[in-house]
Amino acid sequence: MTYKEIEKDGIKIAYKVDMKVDSSSPAGISKSMGRAMIGFADYFEVSKPDAILVLGDRYETLAVCCSAMNAQVPIFHLYGGETTEGAIDEAVRHSITKMSYLHFTSTEEYRHRVIQLGENPDRVFCVGAVGIENALNEPKISKKELELFTGLDLSNPYAVMTFHPVTLESDLLEQCSEVLAAIESFPEIQFIITGANADCGGNDVNNMLMKYAENHNNVFFILSLGLTRYLSALNYAAFVLGNSSSGLVEAPSFGIPTVNIGNRQKGRLRSESVIDCETKKDEIVNAIDKALSNEFKAIVKNAQNPYGDGNTVNKVVEIIKKYFYEKEINLQKKFYDVNFELYKESNTEDDIEIALNTDSVELVKLVQDSEIPVAYIERKENLAGDVVAKKDVIADTWIEMEKSEGKKYDMIVDCDITSPLRTVEDIKNLIEKKMSSDFDVVFSVTDSRRNPYFNMVSVNGDDEADVVIKSKFTARQQAPQIFDMNASLYAYSPHYLSNEGHMFDFKCGTIFMRDTAVLDLDNTCDFEFMEVIAEYLFKVDIGMAEIRKKAMEILYSYNNSLL
């Protein structure tokens, strides 16, 4: 997005720094970074902002962060923890992570990587990718408008292509030639090509692309389409081609294939809609043929985007507000050490037991008929009934298992049987949060659809309503963010189970789950709902037998005895 687009949206730009240089050579980029550091140093000295919010892994961003760090301005970073093994962006991104105070990652895997870099888990949040939010919500121009802008006949299939320099590889122009030779094989396809970035060699790539477009009627080249036109182009495209992260992040949300070329995005998570190929003409041609095939289109239709649900902005805003108004920002960060002793591989399956505490004969028979080895504990009469606290049942299970197995368990994981719509990743997140913290209890939560500060009421005997928590909030967005306990997953310490007291008398932590997966099994109708919901939500997930296998692989990786 250029500064002109920001101004067009009516957003006032407080300060501009001219960091442009005439060369995209290594020396030119270093000089550009130097100019940026000087310019932003002047700005931070005068303006003293409360914080800066930066995105990604560009060298320009690194320069800004260096100046902010020296000025003791807190840095909030979007999209740390990602990997791009073919580019210097890898080193830039991780450097920005170490300078930053708050971290907003696009996936849980990337969140774990930020923590591995020594950042406290309490300041690292998985929020998804804002690119998906743009893809879903940005108004689109019509295909006819796009056709008039590009001068191409878009009644024919077309592709959107972007090819950036791969900064850790030296044969840049040779790679670009291979890409152009490949698209030469598809004269029936129109190509909308956007310019390379300002990395080393970017100008050379753009000159080559521009000359190619001048000699081919089915090719349109422009340095930047702008956000609206770019997303509109994706919306109608047959496929995406190149090595931009957009092919991995935004394109899957449009339900179109991505032909991802070369190593620039190596290491990033990708959807099933992405086809990887080497930067060789024949491989690119084969990948395009595959992308256009009916078989692959069927795969793309059902592919999931691993980068979130399109609600990133609200999550980021709420977290930042909480830190500004309810918490203290202390830039004297402590390095968060991951205890690798906990991750040593264990070769024994005796470290983990699965236990069922029930008085249901039918449930016992169902479990015994399965291939899953489960320890059965008969529910005591004084623990039967709906009014008995969950803690008492879990504590009894723990005590009985330690007696029968002759072991001391370090963690008790409760996969609530009446709230079963959870994934392997949910269980993994729960265990890792418990193992990497000093919480006595960790439980799953979801976004709340109601807020006791604003739109939840109590009603007295005269049908008179009153807000649950009195406040001065006049809009839901003003109220503190609230989460629902969805009663699906819990991890308990023996300390909690062996001591009296309510759960919230102890130190509690949370993991986040999708609210669409919340379903309590209270009657037979709920099972029918569950079958429909599970098929939709988890069609890319795995069955229960595999869930157990994967969960055990996760648990075995810790050098602790778990129940």
| pLDDT on residue 476 | 66
- Count how many domains the chain has: 3
* DSSP code, position 345: -
C-alpha 401/C-alpha 357 separation (Å) is: 10
* Single residue among 319, 351, 368 that ends a domain in this structure: 319
C-alpha 416/C-alpha 421 separation (Å) is: 10
| pLDDT on residue 540 | 47
Angle between helix 227-236 and 143-150 (nearest 10): 110
Helix H or strand E encompassing 444: strand 441-447
Question: Residue 280's domain is classified under what CATH number?
Answer: 3.40.50.2000
| pLDDT on residue 525 | 66
Q: Is 192 left (phi over 0), alpha (psi -120 to 50) or beta?
A: beta
Contact of 494 with 426, CB cutoff 8 Å: no
> Six-digit token pair at 438?
């000093």
Q: Are residues 11 and 80 in the same domain?
A: yes
Answer whether residue 157 shows pLDDT above 90. Answer: yes
Question: Residue 509's domain is classified under what CATH number?
Answer: 3.90.550.10
C-alpha 454/C-alpha 473 separation (Å) is: 7
Whether pTM > 0.85 for this model: the answer is no
What's the domain range around 46? 3-128+311-319
Q: Is 128 left (phi over 0), alpha (psi -120 to 50) or beta?
A: left
- Tell me, what amino acid is at 479? A
Mean pLDDT score, 392-400: 90
Mean pLDDT score, 482-494: 87
C-alpha 81/C-alpha 119 separation (Å) is: 11
| pLDDT on residue 528 | 65
* Single residue among 255, 274, 301 that ends a domain in this structure: 301
Q: Are residues 98 and 168 in the same domain?
A: no
| pLDDT on residue 560 | 45
For residue 326, is it within any domain?
no
Interacting residues of 463 by C-beta distance below 8 A, sequence separation 6+: none
What is the biggest distance separating any 2 CA atoms in the chain, rounded to whole angstroms? 84
Q: Are residues 290 and 346 in the same domain?
A: no
Q: Are residues 159 and 66 in the same domain?
A: no
Q: Are residues 350 and 265 in the same domain?
A: no
**pLDDT for 315-362, tens place per residue?**
999 999 999 988 889 999 989 876 554 444 433 444 678 888 888 888
Separation of first and last alpha carbons in the chain:
51
> Six-digit token pair at 485?
């306990």
| pLDDT on residue 361 | 82
CB-hemisphere CA count at 13 Å for 520? 4
> Six-digit token pair at 23?
């060369």
Mean pLDDT score, 70-97: 90
Q: Are residues 457 and 537 in the same domain?
A: yes
C-alpha 536/C-alpha 534 separation (Å) is: 5
Contact of 154 with 104, CB cutoff 8 Å: no
Instruction: Return the SS3 of 91.
Output: helix
C-alpha 519/C-alpha 470 separation (Å) is: 30
Contact of 97 with 85, CB cutoff 8 Å: no
Q: Is 31 left (phi over 0), alpha (psi -120 to 50) or beta?
A: alpha
Burial class (CB in 10 A: 0-12, 13-18, 19+), 209: buried
Report in angstroms the alpha-carbon separations of 419 from 106, 481, 490: 26, 23, 12
Answer whether residue 25 shows pLDDT above 90. Answer: no
Contact of 164 with 247, CB cutoff 8 Å: no
* DSSP code, position 346: -
Residue showing tokens 């077309």: 158
147-156, 282-291, 515-524: least confidently modelled range:
515-524
For residue 133, is it within any domain?
no
Q: Are residues 233 and 155 in the same domain?
A: yes
For residue 194, is it within any domain?
yes
2-11, 258-267, 346-355, 552-561: least confidently modelled range:
552-561
Bridge pairing between strands 239-242 and 258-261 = parallel
Mean pLDDT score, 242-256: 93
Q: Are residues 401 and 547 in the same domain?
A: yes
Q: Are residues 238 and 183 in the same domain?
A: yes
* DSSP code, position 358: E
For residue 153, is it within any domain?
yes
Helix H or strand E encompassing 546: helix 544-556
Q: Are residues 114 and 157 in the same domain?
A: no
Contact of 179 with 185, CB cutoff 8 Å: no
Q: Are residues 179 and 33 in the same domain?
A: no
Answer whether residue 379 shows pLDDT above 50. Answer: yes
* DSSP code, position 172: H
Bridge pairing between strands 239-242 and 158-162 = parallel
The more confidently predicted of residues 472 and 235 is 235
* Single residue among 290, 319, 348 that ends a domain in this structure: 319
Q: Are residues 146 and 115 in the same domain?
A: no
C-alpha 459/C-alpha 453 separation (Å) is: 15
DSSP string covering 471-524: ----SGGGSPP-EEEEEEEEEE-HHHHTS-S-GGGS-EEEEE--GGG-----SH
